[in-house]
Amino acid sequence: MGITSLIVGDTSGLSFGYYHKSCPNFESIVNQKVNQWVKQDPTLAPSLMRLHFHDCAVRGCDASILLNHTGSERSAAASKTLRGFDLIDDIKAALEKACPRTVSCADILTSAARDATVAAGGPFWMVPYGRRDGWVSIAAETRNVPMGYENMDKLIEFFQSRGLNILDLVVLSGILFLERYCRLFLKIVVALIWQRPSDAGAHTIGRCTCGSIQERIYYYNGTNKPDPSVNPGYLNFLRRKCRWASEEIYLDASTPQTFDSVYYNNLQKKMGLLHTDQLLYSDVRTNPIVTAFVSEPFLFYQQFSVSMAKLGNIDVLTGNEGEVRTNCNRR
């Protein structure tokens, strides 16, 4: 597996050597904890990436998603499926012993998301530090975070309002939607799933609960008809498999247990399980990017680190802004 080291985005107020003197073991502690937890539960890797996205999507990367009180972002309906809070608490407890009142929860979450990506078989990138934790966390503000039902115009608008572009949208959509509905096991890079040349033998098992697609196959957009973008033969298969919402179904109809690019060949046949994935292929603005990633898988691998680095620098608090919490769940 290749490793890409990138310095990307506006790092104003942040520094790559921020903890070199005050907490020199910061990154090693985070890495050790992430690897320990992900080894026990590989599904935590995409969960941590998605938790990081939800934090940065509301008020910037300030750990406001971690605050656990009535009316906080964490209590909102949009946050119900978020996971990884216990891991962040474990990391924070270890860091408070090693260097009390020094490392912010925002920096922990950003670093943990990077290490989770690497643990899942994804790329490495440099993370600058110095983020401060925010004071404000409001459940209502999570309504702006895409839930997987929006059209492409809404998605593009949301990303651009946060300094991200269409390329970032295509790369990071998996954090938004894929892990929201699905449990991904073993080696997987969430976002778009392709085989990298160096990972020819890697395997993945990706499954969704049928409840996540029943609206699409039975009463799409409030009608009594299925989503017209679904291949008719595939639709019949899905209806046979998903008679009950609690049943599970594979993401990839052709090679469900193989980490390969056949999943995106399926999109060409209108056999994408999730509507949001199919939109990436059908929309003229995103189709060329998907096509390029399919033909040159390593481009995606590199771009994932670029987009994640940009994500981690959105509207950060630095200097005298915010605080450093001793407990990530409360002020």
Reading the block at residue 101, the tokens are 């009142």
Residue 249's identity, in one-letter code, is I
d(CA 35, CA 219): 42
Helix (H) or strand (E) holding 205: strand 204-209
Label the pairing between strands 204-209 and 248-250. Answer: antiparallel
**Tokens describing residue 289:** 């990017």
Q: Which amino acid is at 255?
A: T
The residue count of the chain comes to 331
Q: 54 an active-site residue?
A: yes
Beta bridge partners of 313: none
| Helices 275-282 & 166-173 angle (0-180, nearest 10) | 150
CA distance 16 to 323: 19
Catalytic residue among 54, 69, 203, 275: 54
Q: Which residues belong to the active site? A: 54
